[in-house]
Amino acid sequence: MGVAERFDLTDKVAVVTGGSRGMGRSMVLAFAEAGADVVIASRKLDNCQALAKEVEATTGRTAMPIAVHVGHWDECDALVDAVYDRFGKCDVFVNNAGMSPLYPDLVSVTEELFDKTVGVNLKGPFRLGTLVGQRMYEAGSGSIINVSTIGSLLASVGELPYACAKAGLNAFTVGLAEALAPKVRVNCILPGAFDTDITAPWSDEMKSGRMVPLKRLGAPDEISGAALYLASDASSYTTGALLRVDGGMTRKV
């Protein structure tokens, strides 16, 4: 198999939660350009529909938009059912949806904020990963990609519930990889500081990227290479891995 063939996703089906914007959008476009039909899942259906039209117009691949709140297990179940009802299979599933709400200090973190953060960043991916993982295992193959954060390793006081939830997602990745081996691979991407809408409340200093060894923030499409690697046969001997894509960060943002 040649190098290009290893990254080819022709006729595969790839699902991306949080897929309508930011890094999720970049992954959707990369998968479609590599030949996959894509499912774009997010809370706002109109954003998913707009990207689906763009994908179909620019790549010719089928794009299915669907609204889902991954913090609700009934909606997670419905998403997986909808994918298999439409396509009969799922080859790549990306748990990318996430949220990191702001708070003034740790004592001010409410139970509602904590539960929402854990729900979207860990509870939902747990349910989705186990559901789709079982179906992939029964089909004989598949790749699950969880999207965590470098903050799960370099936790800061300003995003501690988020960091805790994502640290759980790291552990889930390793455990699920063992549970689904040898048929299904499960890996995790740990992005650093990327220039997406999540950076809107950041200070000018943080937005400059001067705290990153590469001296800039990442562009959303710079996540695509890692995602395509883990989605494709190029990573056929990679499972249970935590892949840092963070510009070399060694300290907290």
Q: Give all domains of the chain, ordered by start, each with its CATH number.
A: 3-244 (3.40.50.720)
Please report which residue ranges of the chain form alpha helices under DSSP H.
3-6, 22-33, 45-59, 73-87, 111-118, 124-139, 160-180, 204-208, 224-231
210 in Cβ contact with 158 (< 8 Å): no
Query: What is the C-alpha to C-alpha distance for residues 103 and 190, in angstroms, rounded to an integer?
Result: 23
For residue range 30-58, list pLDDT tens digits in order.
999 999 999 999 999 999 999 999 999 99
Q: Quote the pTM value.
A: 0.94
Dump the DSSP string for 205-224.
HHHHTTTSTTSSPBPGGGGH
User: What digits encode the pLDDT tens for the residues 84-96?
Assistant: 999 999 999 999 9
- List the alpha helices (DSSP H) in 34-118: 45-59, 73-87, 111-118
- Residue among 183, 191, 185 at smallest CA distance from 145: 185
How many whole angstroms separate alpha carbon 99 and alpha carbon 22? 13
Which of 84, 137, 162, 229 is labelled catalytic? Answer: 162
Residues in the chain, overall count: 253
The CA angle 5-92-198, to the nearest 5 degrees, is 110
The whole-angstrom separation of Cα 50 and Cα 53 is 5
Strand duo 63-67 + 92-95: pairing: unpaired
84 is catalytic: no
pLDDT per residue as tens, the chain (253 positions):
788 899 999 999 999 999 999 999 999 999 999 999 999 999 999 999 999 999 999 999 999 999 999 999 999 999 999 999 999 999 999 999 999 998 999 999 999 999 999 999 999 999 999 999 999 999 999 999 999 999 999 988 989 999 999 999 999 999 999 999 999 999 999 998 877 877 666 667 777 777 888 888 888 899 999 999 999 999 999 999 999 998 887 766 5
Residue pair 177/129 in contact by the 8 Å Cβ criterion? no
Backbone dihedral angles phi then psi of residue 240, each to the nearest 5 degrees: 75, 15
Euclidean distance between the first and the last CA atom of the chain, given in angstroms as a whole number: 41
CB 121 within 8 A of CB 162: yes
Q: Which string of b and e fits 50-62 if b means at least 16 CB within 10 Å?
A: ebbebbeeebebb
Contacts for 40 with CB less than 8 Å, ≥ 6 apart: 16, 19, 20, 28, 48, 51, 52, 55, 63, 64, 65, 66
